[in-house]
Amino acid sequence: MSGDSIPASAHHGAGNGGLPASRLPGRPAGHTGGSGGGSASGLRVGQRVPARGRVCRVLHLEDSPLDHELALAYLDRAGLRVQSRRVETRDEFTRALGEPWDVVLSDYHLPGFSGLEALALLRQRGMELPFILVSGLIGEDTAVEAMRNGANDYLLKNNLARLAPAVEHAMAATEAQRARAEADRQLAASRQRLSELAQHLQTSVEAERHAIAREIHDDVGGSLTALRFELDWVRRHAAEPAVQQRVASALELLTHATQASQRIMQNLRPAILEQGLVAALQWMAQGFEKRTGARCTFRSSHERMTLPPLVPVVAYRTAQEALTNVSKHAGASRVSMDLSLGRGVLSLEISDNGRGISQTDLAKSNSFGIRGLHERASTVGGWVEVSRGDEGPHGGPYGIGRGTTLILSVPVQSPEDAGTWSGRSRPDDAEEEVWSTRY
């Protein structure tokens, strides 16, 4: 009977396939049909039961035709419509795997083959088919090994009353696993698309900022310069003191306008980034201290850093957003920026001694600044951590107030080639690094 397909109808009624009456499964008391009961299947409440109306394709690895017939009889009596094929050897089993099946039943002891080998072959092919081990005699160690290797269940041939529930449960579990795998795949694809979109938006925004800064420099800056020449000419040729005074006031306003346009251009596209991230952050710290009066120190582990594209911009924008938040919300008197590159990771840590950020602040629905930092960091494969500075000797990083610490971490390739160490040697312990202080 090896390789034969046996329809379920062959086992209905009196057609018992020649099996002894003592081995045929009997109907339980109160059983009125082939639909079965959900509670009898061993499934969890609410778990989907395979439809009894559809055909269940069973691949049966079994060298005993009688045991094969007996298994089909139990499935038939449980109300399952079964289309099966019995195979005995490795070659037959391998060829049969090329066809669609719903479940695999396998004996443990076979001539020149075993159930565990069949399970390993199934998993090597990456086939997520329910696999149930059915044997006349199987030890506990063997059963445990089979379950560890991916078998859905194991049964003894003298207890086949549990076969139909086991098949239903295995099919339902496998279907749920496939659904979860598909959902995970779609979620991963969605996250990848979102990351690509965020990176595209980041690139587009920076390109637009660069274009606007160029227009301000060329058009607005040029017009302001020309206007200065005109006003200066009027000042030199005006004879009346009142006119000269008005021109002087106009020139002062023009100076403020020129400085404002330069500041806007720097915010849109800082030209100092062309000098490197270290120089740009040093310049930013100096400007912050000059504008706010809060002491701002900057330290770097390297004099210069050669970083992948977009990473310097992401680090600069992160520092810019962090300092903006400090000036608006923290009420800090001291700020520290530490830039380090080591062990394949670029790290930028910004700490202040202000009032500190709370979980409520982070959970605000309109807290788009912090969310924007996370999204910006993800465009280069990095991440941002924001915490309240409770670890200081008096509750804060400087011993005054609680403070806030923001850390940007970005993996970089070739850390040895990414920068030039500022000391004579590069220690292995990060705590022994020699920092060059700038402020």
Domain boundaries, the chain: 5-16+48-179, 273-438
Nearest 10 degrees: CA dihedral of 315, 321, 325, 328? 140
The 3-state secondary structure of 317-346 reads HHHHHHHHHHHHHHCCCEEEEEEEEECCEE
Count other C-beta atoms under 10 Å from residue 343's C-beta. 11
The mean per-residue pLDDT over the stretch 136-143 comes to 76
Structure token digits, residue 211: 């274009």
**CATH number of the domain at 273-438, out of 3.30.565.10, 3.40.640.10, 1.10.3720.10, 3.30.420.40?**
3.30.565.10
Between these two residues, 414 and 393, which has the higher pLDDT value?
414
Q: What is the pLDDT of residue 339?
A: 93
Whether residue 435 is predicted with pLDDT greater than 60 in this model: the reply is no
Average pLDDT of the chain, as a whole number: 76
Closest CA to 278 of 297, 311, 305, 317: 305
Whether residue 387 is predicted with pLDDT greater than 50 in this model: the reply is yes
Whether residue 41 is predicted with pLDDT greater than 70 in this model: the reply is no
Distance (Å, rounded) from C-alpha 347 to C-alpha 311?
A: 11
Q: What is the pLDDT of residue 379?
A: 82
Least confident of 63-77, 323-337, 383-397: 383-397
Q: What is the separation of C-alpha 179 from the centre of its chain, rounded to a whole number of angstroms? A: 19
Whether residue 385 is predicted with pLDDT greater than 60 in this model: the reply is yes
Whether residue 216 is predicted with pLDDT greater than 50 in this model: the reply is yes
Confidence of residue 201 (pLDDT cuts 50, 70, 90): confident
Helix, strand, coil % over all residues of the chain, rounded to 5: 50, 20, 30
Asked if 284 contacts 276 with a C-beta cutoff of 8 angstroms, the reply is: no
CA angle centred on 401, ends 397 and 402, rounded to 5°: 60
**CATH number of the domain at 5-16+48-179, out of 3.40.50.2300, 3.30.420.40, 3.40.50.1000, 3.40.50.2000?**
3.40.50.2300
The mean per-residue pLDDT over the stretch 326-347 comes to 88
Least confident of 39-43, 217-221, 376-380: 39-43
Asked if 157 contacts 67 with a C-beta cutoff of 8 angstroms, the reply is: yes
Confidence of residue 101 (pLDDT cuts 50, 70, 90): very high
Amino acid found at 72 = L
Indicate the pTM of the whole model.
0.51
Whether residue 60 is predicted with pLDDT greater than 90 in this model: the reply is yes
Most confident of 233-247, 383-397, 423-437: 233-247
Count other C-beta atoms under 10 Å from residue 317's C-beta. 20
The answer to whether 5-16+48-179 and 273-438 have equal CATH topology is no
Sequence-separated (6 or more) residues with CB below 8 Å from residue 413: 308, 344
